[in-house]
Amino acid sequence: MPLVMLPLAFAGLHAMQSSAQAAEFGDMTACLKAQIEAGQPIVQCVTELQSICLSYDAPSMAGADCYRRAKDHWGGLIAAKMDQITTSASEEVAAIAGIEVKYDLKGNLMQCDRMEELALVQKTPGEETVYTRLRCEATAVGMAYAKLFFQSSGLK
Mean pLDDT of 45-65: 94
Could you tell me if residue 110 is inside a domain?
A: yes
Range of the domain at 145: 19-152
Could you tell me if residue 7 is inside a domain?
A: no
Nearest partner of 81 among 7, 152, 4, judged by Cα? 152
pLDDT band at 19 (very low <50, low <70, confident <90, very high): low
Could you tell me if residue 8 is inside a domain?
A: no
pLDDT band at 23 (very low <50, low <70, confident <90, very high): confident
Could you tell me if residue 143 is inside a domain?
A: yes
Could you tell me if residue 11 is inside a domain?
A: no
Task: Report whether 153 contacts 81 (CB < 8 A).
Answer: no
Please give the distance of CA 75 from its chain centroid, rounded to a whole number. Answer: 5
Q: How many domains does the chain fold into?
A: 1
Could you tell me if residue 106 is inside a domain?
A: yes
**φ and ψ of 13, to 5 deg:** -80, 145
pLDDT band at 2 (very low <50, low <70, confident <90, very high): very low
pLDDT of residue 58: 86
Nearest partner of 11 among 88, 57, 76, 81, judged by Cα? 76
- Rounded Cα distance between 85 and 27, Å, is 20
Say what percent of the chain tops pLDDT 90.
72
- Dump pLDDT digits (tens) for 97-114: 999 999 999 999 999 999
- Rounded Cα distance between 49 and 142, Å, is 10
